[in-house]
Amino acid sequence: MSKPAIAIDMGGTRIKIGIVKDNVILVSASIDADSGNGLRNRLPDIEKIVKDLMNGQKLTPEDIAGLGIASPGIIDTNEKKILSIDKKFGDAPEIDMEEWCQQAFGLSFCIENDARAALLGEWKYGKAKNYDNAVLMTLGTGVGSAAVMEGHLLRGKHFTAGILGGHFIINYKGETCNCGNKGCVETEASTWKLPSIAKEYSSFSDTKIAHVSPIDYELIFKLAGEGDFAAMEIRDQSLQAWAACAINLIHAYDPEILVLTGGIMASSSYIIPYIRQQVENHAWTPWGKVKIEEAEFPASAALYGMAYLVNSVG
């Protein structure tokens, strides 16, 4: 029997905190990530919210299986450390999170990459249920991924396996990425890169995009739908880049199903059919078709995944 767990999803813009049992969120709250100022400054607020949520549910630490954090970056799940993380939460690798968790709550602790946590949630309770080979791709501020192969969540020797889909090179003559690589998927199409992609369009000052801020994909898809030429170009190039990422993930991990999630999926009615068609036309899968599905829990899969992990580890 699984017990409720404290599950925290450390996004770049919002931190979601929930008390979760299996795939049910008993109660939750969220705060601004304020990630530019580091994680350490956020810990007292997180602690207060967790305690408030527990009190509100009349739960003591004895009722709770443990606390699990889904974090961006490369996570050593054995040592329970953040090894490497983009600019967001830059101080995180220096913080002993397990010690913090022990001192604040007396709870056991685990931490996992956020895309892996989301795949775990979708695999145990959502769209990837009953598949032993599944890949998740998340389109948002960055591009994330994770893979389950032959019934095992792929982590790899140094914890980087499965999660670097956004840093597959899809344009080897392309621009330098935040990660130091060149022509990554993220550099070609992601929300963090979008404003500079838009600016590069020579016709930029003539388009509606020039007059709106911030530029995000919701806007791009909207303007493209209205026939704005620059927005259509950017939309089409981004779709091509995401389809290339999907095909590379399929070629790398040989899944039965690819689950798509992330903030950009608000435009899923456009994205899913495009990627499905590109994969059908271009991926080398002589055995048949990879299923391409939108996530069942776009907002909460990572929380469910962490609650599952907390119960499996503890």
Asked if the peptide bond before residue 214 counts as cis, ω within 30 degrees of 0, the response is yes
Are the beta carbons of 91 and 100 closer than 8 angstroms? no
Nearest to 115 by CA among 96, 142, 91, 87: 142
Nearer to a copy of itself, 56 or 156 (CB): 156
Nearest to 134 by CA among 307, 305, 314: 305
Nearer to a copy of itself, 48 or 251 (CB): 251
Nearer to a copy of itself, 20 or 111 (CB): 111
The residues binding a copy of itself (CB under 8 A) are 74, 83-84, 132-133, 149-150, 154, 156-161, 164, 167-173, 179-183, 188, 240-241, 243-244, 247-248, 251-256, 281-288
Residue 270 C-alpha from the chain's centroid: 20
Give the other-Cβ count within 10 Å of 31's Cβ: 14
Nearer to a copy of itself, 222 or 282 (CB): 282
Smallest separation, CB 282 to a copy of itself (Å)? 5
Nearer to a copy of itself, 242 or 304 (CB): 242
Nearer to a copy of itself, 242 or 308 (CB): 242
| Bridge-based pairing state of the strands 109-113 and 67-71 | parallel
Nearer to a copy of itself, 64 or 275 (CB): 275
Q: Is 44 exposed, middle or buried (0-12, 13-18, 19+ CB in 10 A)?
A: exposed
Smallest separation, CB 74 to a copy of itself (Å)? 6
207 token code pair: 């388009």
Smallest separation, CB 15 to a copy of itself (Å)? 23
161 token code pair: 């396996």
Smallest separation, CB 81 to a copy of itself (Å)? 11
Smallest separation, CB 131 to a copy of itself (Å)? 9
Smallest separation, CB 133 to a copy of itself (Å)? 4
* CA distance linking residue 46 with residue 29, whole number of Å: 10
Smallest separation, CB 132 to a copy of itself (Å)? 7
* CA distance linking residue 82 with residue 180, whole number of Å: 18
Q: Say which DSSP state 217 is in.
A: H
Nearer to a copy of itself, 34 or 254 (CB): 254
Smallest separation, CB 175 to a copy of itself (Å)? 12
Nearer to a copy of itself, 254 or 294 (CB): 254
Nearest to 5 by CA among 17, 13, 97, 16: 17
204 token code pair: 């930029």
Q: What are phi and psi of 110, to 5 degrees?
A: -145, 160
160 token code pair: 């980087």
For residue 225, CA distances in Å to 208, 209, 219 come to 12, 13, 10
Smallest separation, CB 85 to a copy of itself (Å)? 9
